[in-house]
Structure 1
């Protein structure tokens, strides 16, 4: 009986997908009113949009058909129906790319194909890629990653620094291992008078008020790294970091419908407060999957990406964001997370951009597989769902 019901479900969903396309039904787009709303005020979709043969929108993303160009269609559609029926993870979009083609695209709740979704800490990954672009263009070198970060910032007064500042390298900033420790009360003081942290004054203030930097303090701790990296980018590229990111990365990938806010220093945000559409998240993931190339042009050095997406640090399995019983060995690179995903008796190494609320760009190179997710629930199980419900659809038995 269950098998019959399941087959009927797949036939129904498959028919609806084809029927929707034949009748011109398109992925949900934001109305003019919705485009002006804050994310929390965007109304939920009345019905989910599930497409196993995504439309070619001439946006630089090749498309294909799930089941024909790869993947087990029945397995993926079963998951899509489960999300539709009981969306505890508050998914807004779920996309799958296999062998370079977008094979599955779905939107739920506050998801809209043309509405840039908040990215939270996935922004850190984009900052890492921007630094890689500066290396590719010769404004920095791979060797510079091991130099003191302050050596790139010429407007600072080292005589006022706390001890040990020279231990903070770009590598340490990129791995959240700066060793900087500032009481919350001091951060509040910074916020009260933003004029004192404009430009490189931001770094000056941080390095004056931190506890001394020591090898012991330079362990992994989510903190001030991204802002420091953006300061270096601003210092070494011609013009501004904002224009550099737009001209040398976003424009080249055809990303025009986005939000990238400004931090109190006047520089682009580095750790959060960007918005990207789900399809543009696919573009960032494609750049990484293609080892830094976009349309044949090397935008980010392959060597930098290899290091950025590697498991430089093991961060432990006590609190894996989006994890579960089949997710282990959580690690961190240059603002990229990593974890082993288990299915059956084998594990698959995954790399991911991650943002609070449930933003993910998950890459599994062994399967030539990318999953893009947006959501608005910090208590999500996304990596576990990938392990138990997506891996089996792309693993050949």
Structure 2
């Protein structure tokens, strides 16, 4: 069957026939603006089990930001950990890749390209002087399956050093036969984005608007672009959590939405089934415990329990479970992505039964209250100090962040921080015992913060700030970038006229702190 599908897609550039490969998946009507909601038990899910899942997340080291659970096409649970909110977008990191793959699927269905097309055919003006055989043989499918054949992932080296990523990618040596070995490669996904733009004349985000986003009622999305004006493809998409749930439901329904076949069912099956082994030769015991050793698809991962997922760094997930007719969307920040998935398999997978369960108003009420009360704690500590450091400015010695001075002021219980960085001044506000909303032009922490990109589309960044004094009379400032997974924390120790501070980014998990040393400006 897999061979037939591959041949079908190659031979029929305009896919006029859509068929369902999973007949046991029931389709449900959706409205464009929101997903239908139902009680867990009505959809065969234990509300008490979902509550246990939430309790487990609270006891874990994972920083959950949002969660949506769909069964039979209906929302049975959803929650956002304050200060994250339903209307906020969230950076997806590599979960973006599955949207890029979807754009390729639309382009294939419209006859604009095929997965067997050679990559060099799209960029005649960007090729190296000598086109070696492996580069000449490289196909769109090799990009989709992360099997370019390069010996190491070139993404960070190219993105942080070059403006023309297409030309830089095509100049890289290919060590192994394309299609023969898996190597995670976000720059390969960027090349898919560049191919879509080449054959459609539109950035991926614009190409997807009438084909995917508008039919699903997804609005407000944005996607990072490089200096060439091409969506980054392998990362950089920001959408609301509900958009993740809708994307998963579309794939669960084999590309159908509101009775209309948006994406060919044949493509959905092709894109979400095993294509290449990430770890050939690994012991079966290791494969049985890892969701990263179940096979890679077209920018989707296979999971244990016969599921598949879109997957982004620090725990951005769309988990699709065809057998259970379920979708789970998660945004978060974690250093242990497998640990998050383990919670899903431990608590939510067994919570689903084939038939509806008896109504349980007590469990439903307990779950609803729990979901409404989800929160992430602000900075701990008192609201004042005997140090009397407010209304003072400190000049800062040369440092990795290029911060030249830090000023502290206080008014109406709010700590105002003024940073001079290079030639720009940034003002940040922090409240005690709660999160204070704000916005800033100061770029937040992130894996691709050093990339040659146009970050202006992300500005101003939405943030919330909180502060507290600890028992050692150190000031802790926590700044969450709430449209990203990340948080910045500054611990300030005041010693007479001196300031010693440490800047810590949440994704470093206590490592690579940046020291700042300052003197009181007199």
Task: Report the TM-score when normalising by structure 1.
Answer: 0.73
Larger radius of gyration: 2
Tell me which of 284, 295, 299 is aligned to 1:331. 295
Deviation at 1:66, TM superposition (A): 1.0
Q: Which has the higher helix share?
A: 1
Which residue pairs with 2:309 in the alignment? 352
Distance in 2 (CA, whole Å) between partners of 1:327 and 1:248 is 30
Which residue pairs with 2:478 in the alignment? none
Which residue pairs with 2:109 in the alignment? 136
Deviation string 1:209-259 (CA, Å, 9 cap, x unpaired) is x22453178411111310111111111114444421223222222211222
Which residue pairs with 1:27 in the alignment? none
After alignment, is 324-333 or 292-301 more displaced? 324-333
Which residue pairs with 1:211 in the alignment? 173
**1:182·1:211 contact (CA, 8 Å) conserved in 2?**
no
Distance in 1 (CA, whole Å) between partners of 2:158 and 2:306 is 43
Which residue pairs with 2:229 in the alignment? 266
Would the alpha carbon gap of residues 304 and 104 (structure 1) be closer, same or farther in structure 2, given more than 3 Å must change? Answer: same
SS at the partner of 2:111?
A: coil
Q: Where does the alignment leave 5 or more consecutive residues of structure 1 unmatched?
A: 1-55, 341-347
RMSD between superposed Cα atoms in Å? 2.9
After alignment, is 146-155 or 373-382 more displaced? 146-155
Which residue pairs with 1:92 in the alignment? 65
Would the alpha carbon gap of residues 215 and 379 (structure 1) be closer, same or farther in structure 2, given more than 3 Å must change? Answer: same
Distance in 1 (CA, whole Å) between partners of 2:84 and 2:109 is 34
Q: Which has the higher strand share?
A: 2
Distance in 2 (CA, whole Å) between partners of 1:123 and 1:326 is 22
Distance in 2 (CA, whole Å) between partners of 1:183 and 1:276 is 26
Deviation at 1:133, TM superposition (A): 1.4
**2:138·2:178 contact (CA, 8 Å) conserved in 1?**
no
Would the alpha carbon gap of residues 220 and 115 (structure 1) be closer, same or farther in structure 2, given more than 3 Å must change? Answer: same
Q: Where does the alignment leave 5 or more consecutive residues of structure 2 unmatched?
A: 1-29, 356-522
- Asked whether 1:393 is paired with 2:351, we answer yes
Task: Report the TM-score when normalising by structure 2.
Answer: 0.56
Deviation at 1:324, TM superposition (A): 8.4
**1:162·1:213 contact (CA, 8 Å) conserved in 2?**
no
Aligned pairs, number:
321
- Asked whether 1:63 is paired with 2:37, we answer yes
Distance in 2 (CA, whole Å) between partners of 1:253 and 1:310 is 23
Tell me which of 100, 103, 123 is aligned to 1:153. 123
Distance in 2 (CA, whole Å) between partners of 1:362 and 1:191 is 31
Distance in 2 (CA, whole Å) between partners of 1:137 and 1:78 is 46
After alignment, is 294-303 or 283-292 more displaced? 294-303
Deviation string 1:138-170 (CA, Å, 9 cap, x unpaired) is 323xxx212212223343446433442122101
Tell me which of 172, 175, 184 is aligned to 1:222. 184
Tell me which of 48, 52, 59 is aligned to 1:78. 52
Distance in 1 (CA, whole Å) between partners of 2:35 and 2:84 is 19
Would the alpha carbon gap of residues 389 and 269 (structure 1) be closer, same or farther in structure 2, given more than 3 Å must change? Answer: same
Deviation at 1:285, TM superposition (A): 0.6
Distance in 1 (CA, whole Å) between partners of 2:173 and 2:260 is 44
Distance in 2 (CA, whole Å) between partners of 1:157 and 1:312 is 28
**2:69·2:77 contact (CA, 8 Å) conserved in 1?**
yes
- Asked whether 1:123 is paired with 2:80, we answer no
